[in-house]
Chain A
Amino acid sequence: GAGVSQSPRYKVAKRGQDVALRCDPISGHVSLFWYQQALGQGPEFLTYFQNEAQLDKSGLPSDRFFAERPEGSVSTLKIQRTQQEDSAVYLCASSLVQGATAVTEAFFGQGTRLTVV
Chain B
Amino acid sequence: TQLLEQSPQFLSIQEGENLTVYCNSSSVFSSLQWYRQEPGEGPVLLVTVVTGGEVKKLKRLTFQFGDARKDSSLHITAAQPGDTGLYLCAGVVGNTPLVFGKGTRLSVIA
Contact = CB atoms under 8 A, between A and B. Distances in A.
Nearest to B92: A101
Contacts, number: 56
A42 B97 contact: no
Given A108-B42, A109-B42, A110-B42, A43 B100 contact: yes
A100 B100 contact: no
B75 interface: no
Interface residues of B, number: 23
A104 B102 contact: no
Interface in B39-54: 40-44, 48
A20 to B, nearest CB: 19
A45 interface: yes
In this complex, the member of B4, B43, B44, B97 whose beta carbon has the largest number of chain A beta carbons within 10 angstroms is B97
B11 interface: no
Given A42-B103, A45-B97, A45-B98, A104 B92 contact: yes
A108 B40 contact: no
Contacts of A44: 100
B24 interface: no
Which residue, of B90, B95, B98, has the highest number of chain A Cβ atoms within 10 A? B98
Given A42-B102, A42-B103, A110-B42, A48 B90 contact: no
A42 B100 contact: yes
A27 to B, nearest CB: 18
Interface of B: 4, 6, 30-31, 33, 40-44, 48, 88, 90, 92, 95-103
